[in-house]
Amino acid sequence: MKRQRGYKALLGLTPEQVIALDEQGHAARAMWNLLHDWWTMTGKCLLRRASLALADQHIRQARKDLPWLAALPAQAAQQVLKQYHRAWVNCWEGRAGAPNFKSRIRSRMSVDVPQGRDLQIKRVSRRWGRCRIPKVGLVRFRWTKDLPGVTRSGPAGRVTGARLVKEAHGWHIVFRTETLVDDVHPKSTGRIVGIDRGVVVPLALSDGSNREHGPWLTDGERKRLIRLERKAARQRRIRKPGEQSGNRLARTYDQIARYRATAKRRAADWQHRTTTELADTFTVIAVEDLAVTNMVKSARGTTGHPGKNVRQKAGLNRVIAAEAWGRTVELLAYKLADRGGHLVKVPAAGTSRRCSACGFTCPGNRQTQARFACRAPGCGYTANADTNAARNIEHAAGRAVSGLLSPLHDGNEASTTSCAHSA
């Protein structure tokens, strides 16, 4: 069975190579914008019938007429065309919105190397590897994991291509790999667990344990970040309306971006380590089917109907976004599939207010953020609120997979008794 994965590594570039890659990144963005203008000028009625061969012909002519556009390799320019056409196909089929103009400030520079054989990957030391990038030459990258088909000790497979991406810490290369693995058969036995995602406790498990983390930045880094944000605010106030931003403000923004990128990388590292440990331990993992995008919407409202507690809601939105709940679910899904397990999503309604022991549901059951106490007569069950919610998620998952793993589920089947029924 073929398994496709991505492997990301930091590039060690010389100043000349950085300039060359920056030119390619700007040319790729300009190529996208030129295609967008050309396709949209034809009108929506002709957009579906636009010929890729004609577009490729215009790209070839543009690379001859514009020297700065020729900095982009020919295969990378063709890949921009393929990606733009795929964006419109996704829009027509309802999977995404229409492609837009790529801003120089808000878009991330990227260049594709579609053919893996052009990379000529080789390991040169314990920490460094080497590959060839078109119109840049041989570049070094950090070697932290064996690539398929490169070293004898590496897995069987091959590198099918790569993408160069510029981030706050510099240029990175993302290798597209194809690995040959044995067919993964579903596990017939194993453990099932429910996970409640939160902001106070990042991951609360139904077995009573938690997966927590500390702040992503140290105290010194947080203080430095706050000073930089205040410095950027002062520099923005000095700038006159309509005046272009200066180099000093741009340098301040770059420093802020590096600190935020550091926090993001540390969060992703913790998520990878935690989800790997969970996927190795449990066969079935259940999570709530949350609409995270709707949960982090602003409470500002409109001019006629302004929102309430806007600043408090904005702070909560930032905390939820920092936890990256959606990324946790994506990591669990593919890691469980690789190990023969699977992920179950259950409805989120009532999980925090339902008693996992008797099934009594009432808003008053959750007394505080951390304490749950059942108010049903004769029950008296008390537990941590997050742990109780995780157990309800596990119970719902046990019913959802009852045909497959019902003998393994030793929890109590929660009923749906509510306050109105008990009255």
Q: Which residues are the active-site residues?
A: 196, 288, 386
* Token reading at 45: 């009625």
